[in-house]
Amino acid sequence: MSELERQRWLAGLALVVALPLPITGIATWPFVLPYMVMAGWLLTRLRPVAPVPTWLENVLAPLVLLAVVAAGGVQFGVLRPVAHLAVLVAAVRLPGCASPRRARRTLVITAIIGVAGIASSTHPSLIAYLLAVLALGTVAVGRETLLGLRTAEQPLPSRLAWPPARLVVATVVLAVLVGAPLFAMLPRLRSPFAGTAIGSGGTSGFRNEVTLLGSGGFAMAEH
């Protein structure tokens, strides 16, 4: 796989895992937007982008930490600061992801962002989203593997440079068959707070009173 194609695959994956973040409220737009802009910019480049200079990364590191603390730190639980930190670090580390060495690190932080984005969601559409992400990841890994087997003496035909559709479907089905029982059996990691997509606060538990004043609506209470 060429460096440009690897960059585009990783940038596209970065955009996909960012979709649930502002919807579930785990990360807020001021943090997610720079990350998505960087990923979108890399996706449209016609050549690989060089990494950010080390000295600039060192300058940005304390600023990233200050931004996470200013957004509330762990006041609203653990997931929000982890997601905020991950997207800002990824926005800095995405440039240069075309090289094989940095690609592995980019995949790790992208996986962290993906887990944070779905950790607090219980919406049924999450199933379709996970299946789509899994299929996309399988295609990317298959493409990387097949192109790695190609040699200058024996180049692969274009149709053989992509994983077969049956393999992709079988991989997704197998992952679901293995993952569903594990999800049911493993203990849940509970947090006292869950994020909210409206405002910067957190929510915990249930209450009879439903207040919509903060979003321009009204308030009603059940007695």
Examine the pLDDT at 160 and tell me if it is beyond 70.
no
How much is the pLDDT for 73? 67
Residue 145 contacts residue 44 (beta carbons within 8 Å) = no
Q: How confident is the model at residue 1 (pLDDT cuts 50, 70, 90)?
A: low
Closest Cα to residue 198, out of 183, 184, 215? 215
| Rounded average pLDDT over 1-24 | 84
How far, rounded to the nearest angstrom, does the alpha carbon of residue 215 sit from its chain's CA centroid? 27
Residue 14 contacts residue 110 (beta carbons within 8 Å) = yes
Q: What is the pLDDT of residues 42-56, one digit of tens each?
A: 999 888 889 889 898
Whole-number Å distance between alpha carbons of 32 and 38: 10
Half-sphere exposure of 155 (CA within 13 A, CB side): 5
Examine the pLDDT at 186 and tell me if it is beyond 70.
no
Tell me the pTM: 0.69
How much is the pLDDT for 36? 93
User: Average pLDDT, whole number, for the chain?
Assistant: 76
